[in-house]
Every structure is written in C-alpha cells, then in structure tokens.
Amino acid sequence: MEKATRRLTTGINLETNESLIIADESVNRLIPYAKYPSFQIQELFYSEESPLSLTTRHIVKEYDIDLPEKAIRFLKVRMPTKTEITADLVRAGEPIPEDWHKFNLHRTDSIDYIYILSGNITCVVGTKTTELSAGDFVVQISPEHMWLNDSDEPCYMLCIMIGIAAPDNQQRRKTTF
C-alpha cells in the first residue's frame, strides 16, 4: 500500500445536536505478520462497542485476526502475489509450501464481508476454489479458508469483519499462521 488512507470521522455534539468533524487523520499501512512483509493492511476502523451508537469511536488496539464477539473491523488488505510470498518465505528461512491451497488455511469466529477492489485472487474454502476479480463480493461465515494470488499484481480488498460467538459447546478459536 503505497499511500496512507485518510479517515474522516463525523458525528454530532450530543449536547447541542450540532454536526461536527470528530477526527481527520491518516491511516498508515501495517504489516501484521513479520515473516510476510508483502502482506499489508490498513485498519480503517475498529470497535468493540456493541451495539454501535452515536458515541462509537475508532479504538487503537494491536492487530489480532481473532476478534472478540461483536467487535467490528474495517480493513483495506493488500494480498501479495505468490511470487512475493515465496520471496518472503525464502528471506524468513521458511519452507516453500508443496500445496499452496493449504498454505495458511485458517478459520476465524467471524462473519467477513470482502469486496475485491482491484486485481485477481483465488478464494479457497475447504477443498473448493473460486476465482475472484475486481468488483466481486464475498460473504464468509466462519469457513476454513485461505487466499491465493497467482497473478502478477497484488490484489486489494476491502474487508469488514464482525466477531461472532463460537459454535455451541466450543471454545473460541485462536488463529495461527
């Protein structure tokens, strides 16, 4: 992500009912996993407040893919190419996956809404694959999944994640990569 995103937060003064700008700030890129510097995110908005209200604000908290129940996160994601991830793995001294469709296969206790902004990407859900491109929209309701970018360009996605309860009689999962 070459450019920071501008986050403009607007609202109302609860005492006077006057409309106002609450914050005007820059959202820089974040590399959430040190061994994959080509995978980058911009956390556009995060809240653990539920239900959301007129006093809801973005909170700054260390990135964790596992959301608390009812938390909401808006992200811009840069999904690197397989070539970039391979270079990251080589630099980190990690093995190159034999089966890329199982690389970083994971599941989160969340509902994710993903809009492909640009580029192409393969969505792997369990053993099924679906090719996606700019303009496609995905709703993920906690499946085992991963993303694979076989193209020559990074794929950019807008992602909204909402933390949900773990399935009945199960502990909330901890996602590892």
* Averaged pLDDT for residues 154-177: 81
d(CA 30, CA 62): 10
Q: What is the mean pLDDT of the chain?
A: 91
Domains and their CATH numbers in the chain = 7-163 (2.60.120.10)
Helix (H, G, I), strand (E, B) or coil at 114: strand
Residue 169, pLDDT above cutoff 80: no
pLDDT in tens, 120-132: 999 999 889 999 9
Q: Give the global pTM.
A: 0.89
**Amino acid 90: pLDDT:** 96
Q: Give the model's confidence band at 6: pLDDT under 50 very low, under 70 low, under 90 confident, else very high.
A: very high
